[in-house]
Amino acid sequence: MTEPVPARQVPTYESQVFKPRGSSAVLIIPVINEGERLLGQLDAIAALDPPVDVVIADGGSADGSTDSARLEPRRVRACLTKTGPGKLSAQLRMAYAWALDQGYDAILTMDGNGKDGVDGILSILDKLEEGYGYVQGSRYAHGGRAINTPLSRWIAGRLIHAPLISFAARHWFTDTTNGFRGYSRAFLDDPSTRPFRDIFIKYNLLFYLSVRASQLGYKVTEVGVTRTYPDSGKVPTKITGLSGKLDLLAELFGAVIGLYHPKDDAKNRP
């Protein structure tokens, strides 16, 4: 007899919903104190007017950028504010669970710091509509552009992160540190995926989902996107210091060796 799938583990959060669902696809933007970078990005998305609903997954911003008066006029459908513990992975668990409950079939994510070219939304959505379970945006894929990428980021992404993720996924990816990506409802809802577990706190959910889709037989692919770093000044990132980079490396290896796979699932295979 098949055991029931455990209930979702999702951090507590508050939600502000500004308008009803208008699409079968949702674009989730995780943020914390992104300021004008977020607002400029939302203006660019509104100008593009892609066939997706836009939802902000806020980790607890205190800079006013996620105030309803600033989001609602910018084509944002809802703002979810995490009040429970955890970092990026907890924000994503919150937002993905909400999106599935709302009935979305395609779930896209992009960072909220203005580095991603919004045209990639359409490219990722096209692949999801073609039946792919996981679509990775890549600045290194055909049609992609890497602008002002710091050398340390290029080395870490191209020579360490992508090869290890590709080895575990048994599919070659070129830009696995890129949070610009898309998932099908079927993949996120699969009992053998189970992304809604408290083990996903910092960045490991992104790494886990990168390897799990192809392991479970879902169609996966990359599409070219643009990622632009500033010409000068501070690099927009939440990963700072040696301890932050070591934590990231440990979570990467955890995904590669299958540490985050559901332990009681028959499809549990690295």
Average pLDDT over residues 8-16: 98
At residue 3, the pLDDT reads 58
Nearest residue to 77 (alpha-carbon basis) of 124, 114, 45, 115:
45
Residue pLDDT, tens place only, 152-189: 999 999 999 999 999 999 999 999 999 999 999 999 99
How many angstroms separate the CA atoms of 181 and 195, rounded? 16
Higher pLDDT, 244 or 20: 20
- Percent of the chain exceeding pLDDT 90 equals 87
pLDDT digits (tens, 9 = 90+) for 98-155: 999 999 999 999 999 999 999 999 999 999 999 999 999 999 999 999 999 999 999 9
User: Is residue 261 within 8 Å of residue 270, measured between CB atoms?
Assistant: yes
Please say whether the beta carbons of 175 and 95 come within 8 A. no
Backbone angles phi, psi at 210, to 5 degrees: -65, -35
113: its two tokens: 């710091």
pLDDT of 4 reads 66
- Cα 181 to chain centroid, rounded: 6
Report pLDDT for 115.
96
Is residue 49 exposed (0-12), middle (13-18) or buried (19+ Cβ within 10 Å)?
Answer: exposed
Percent of the chain at pLDDT > 70 equals 92
Q: Using the predicted structure, report yes or no on whether residue 267 has a pLDDT greater than 80.
A: no
List, in sequence order, the alpha helices (H) in 49-138. Answer: 68-71, 88-101, 120-129
pLDDT of 238 above 80: no
pLDDT for the residue 263: 86
For residue 265, is pLDDT > 80?
Answer: no
270 pLDDT above the threshold of 70: no
Query: Two tokens at 111?
Result: 């960072």
> What pLDDT was estimated at residue 231?
85
How do residues 239-251 score in pLDDT, each as one tens digit?
Answer: 566 677 888 899 9
pLDDT score for 143: 96
For the cut 80, the answer to whether the pLDDT of residue 233 exceeds it is: no
SS3 state at 4: coil
Q: Does domain 13-256 have CATH number 3.40.50.1820?
A: no
| Ordered DSSP codes for 157-220 | IIIIIHHHHHHHHTS--S-TT---EEEEHHHHH-TTT---STT--SSHHHHHHHHHHHHTT--E
CB 75 within 8 A of CB 51: no
The span from the CA of 130 to the CA of 109, in Å, is: 18
How high does pLDDT run on average in the chain?
93
